[in-house]
Amino acid sequence: MDHPSLATVVASLSGDPLTLEAPPSWSQGRTLYGGMTAALGWAAAAHTVPDLPPLRSVQAAFVGPAAGRLTLQPTVLRRGKSATTVGVDVHGEAGLAARLTFFCGAARPSKVMHERAIAPAAPAPDDLPAVLKAGQGPTFATNYDIRHVSGGLPFSGGEPEFVMWARMRDADGADPLVSLIALADVLPPASMPAFPEFGVISSLSWNFDLDRLPDDAAAWYLCHATSQSTADGYSRQAMSVWDAAGRRVLAGSQTVAIFV
């Protein structure tokens, strides 16, 4: 199987409307991995809409499989004095695959500034073993180096929570923000330690806010996901991503359908 880097995949976006072939090495089951779908949506928005302010918040609805020939259609929903909202519809061969909304806002003077989020304690990633061996995990995971810090492992019966370090294996030429969006969804559903057996999962929605913009596509990030409630075949979880300096870069929530 060909394993194109993130930069190579983004560079293949072309045409009007923008299209590309969904790379199998970035798949999760029968669809493109959700983080990659959102990352490509942002790449399409940034490519199509000039002079966007910094990205502040994202809403992603995963509607159907992002497979085969993908078409990405960015639309400016509103452009104000300091804020611009861009919608991106992603269509696959089976129809609408994702509906993404990107909220961008220019910085402005403010008398209020504070940070109250505290990163989980964690050893350095180089002091921890890799989580996955060759051939383990979903296909897209081969693009990442992932190290377990704390929380249960899948199917372990442990706490429904993960803290793990992650970085992209081949980040050469990748835009740091596209890379971060792709990476921020890399952990398994936080409810998975409670699974009594393997079960199919499917992300339904993912909403996240950015505390700061990244500057290194190859950086290690500390990822934390915790299940807040799971019932009736759906799991709701909180997620956060921290840089190596202990600063939160992203925080969000996700609803996942679980078939177990």
**Which tokens is 36 given?**
């990659």
User: Is 115 a domain residue?
Assistant: no
Q: How far apart (Å, rounded) are the C-alpha atoms in residues 98 and 206?
A: 11
User: Is 60 a domain residue?
Assistant: yes
Q: What is the pTM of this model?
A: 0.96
CATH, residue 145: 2.40.160.210
User: Is 36 a domain residue?
Assistant: yes
Backbone angles phi, psi at 228, to 5 degrees: -95, -35
Per-residue pLDDT of the chain (260 residues; tens, 9 = 90+): 588 999 999 999 999 999 999 999 999 999 999 999 999 999 999 999 999 999 999 999 999 999 999 999 999 999 999 999 999 999 999 999 999 999 999 999 999 999 999 999 999 999 999 988 766 789 999 999 999 999 988 888 888 999 999 999 999 999 999 999 999 999 999 999 999 998 899 999 999 999 999 999 999 999 999 999 999 999 999 999 999 999 999 999 999 999 99
pLDDT at 1: 52
**Which tokens is 123 given?**
């050893």
User: Is 114 a domain residue?
Assistant: no
Q: How far apart (Å, rounded) are the C-alpha atoms in residues 148 and 55?
A: 29
Q: Write down the H helix ranges in 21-112.
A: 34-48
User: Is 116 a domain residue?
Assistant: no
**Which tokens is 184 given?**
């921020």
User: Is 211 a domain residue?
Assistant: yes
* The total number of structural domains that make up the chain: 1
**Which tokens is 68 given?**
């085969």
Beta 31-32 vs 27-28: how paired, if at all?
Answer: antiparallel
Lay out the sheet containing 83-92: strands in order across: 18-21, 69-79, 83-92, 95-105, 55-62, 200-210, 248-259, 234-243, 221-231, 161-168, 144-151
User: Is 190 a domain residue?
Assistant: yes
| Domain encompassing residue 206 | 6-106+129-259
Sign of CA dihedral 206, 1, 219, 228: positive
Q: How far apart (Å, rounded) are the C-alpha atoms in residues 52 and 84?
A: 7
- Other Cβ atoms within 10 Å of 84 Cβ, number: 21
User: Is 39 a domain residue?
Assistant: yes
Amino acid type, 133: K
pLDDT at 134: 66
